[in-house]
Chain A
Amino acid sequence: SAVISQKPSRDICQRGTSLTIQCQVDSQVTMMFWYRQQPGQSLTLIATANQGSEATYESGFVIDKFPISRPNLTFSTLTVSNMSPEDSSIYLCSVDKGGSAEAFFGQGTRLTVV
């Protein structure tokens, strides 16, 4: 199992600013994932962050908007840049070994952009 701590748990931000979300895992993991859950919607994968390599972004998500850092095997950050109200969502960090393994999720960061 894995315990994931995400900070902040929620924030209200002005449009045009940036917010960095932190994700700390209690054990070393190779793969970390960032998801977005828009209001009333399901989870959509933003990117996969592996330590020692550039993050891999899904279609519709770009590095300039969502830069990701993965400095070590227990930590990652996601930045939401130049925010607009459309970025208001819950952002979730996840760790996962792939295959048949269970994925573990942080509590999420509820972001509201005004």
Chain B
Amino acid sequence: AQSVTQLDSHVSVSEGTPVLLRCNYSSSYSPSLFWYVQHPNKGLQLLLKYTSAATLVKGINGFEAEFKKSETSFHLTKPSAHMSDAAEYFCVVREGGGNKLTFGTGTQLKVEL
């Protein structure tokens, strides 16, 4: 069975400072892992995905995530936050070869001046 835990429901950072959104997963088989962003009243957009290639994955808008199998983690980072990064972020897991996506509970990122 697959599951995903987002450790922080809310994260607040100042503009220009680093962002860290934490995600731990559980999967019986080699997982695919995704980070999606949801801006207010907008659809879900893929930030990046891990699919058993490079463990450090670079995504859009300067975000990246590192897959750490030993820690079962897939934390999302960005060196410098921008006001436009304020949104809800979802960590998502899918077991290898499967169809079903399992969403984390989401992390609301707030960026302050």
A binds B: yes
Stretch at the interface among B19-27, B44-52, B69-77, B78-86: B44-52
Stretch at the interface among A19-27, A37-45, A69-77, A80-88: A37-45
A97 to chain B, nearest CB (A): 9
B99 to chain A, nearest CB (A): 4
Residue with the highest number of chain B CB atoms closer than 10 Å, among A43, A102, A105: A43
* A98 with B105: CB separation less than 8 A: no
Kindly identify which residue among B32, B43, B51, B90 contacts A42, using a CB–CB cutoff of 8 Å. Answer: B90
* A102 with B46: CB separation less than 8 A: yes
Known A42-B90, A42-B105, A42-B106; judge A98-B46 contact (CB<8 A).
Answer: no
Q: Which residue of B lies closest to A98 (CB)?
A: B99
- Inter-chain CA distance A42–B46, complex, in Å, is 15
Known A42-B90, A43-B103, A48-B99; judge A100-B52 contact (CB<8 A).
Answer: yes
B7 to chain A, nearest CB (A): 14
Residue with the highest number of chain B CB atoms closer than 10 Å, among A31, A44, A105, A106: A105
Instruction: State the B residues within 8 Å of A (CB).
Output: 32, 34, 42-44, 46, 49, 51-52, 90, 94, 96-101, 103-106
6 cross-chain pairs, A with B, having the tightest CB-CB distances, nearest first: A100-B51, A98-B99, A105-B44, A100-B32, A107-B43, A43-B103
Known: A42-B103, A92-B44; 9 extra A-B contacts, CB below 8 A, are A33-B101, A42-B90, A43-B44, A45-B100, A98-B94, A98-B98, A105-B44, A107-B43, A108-B43
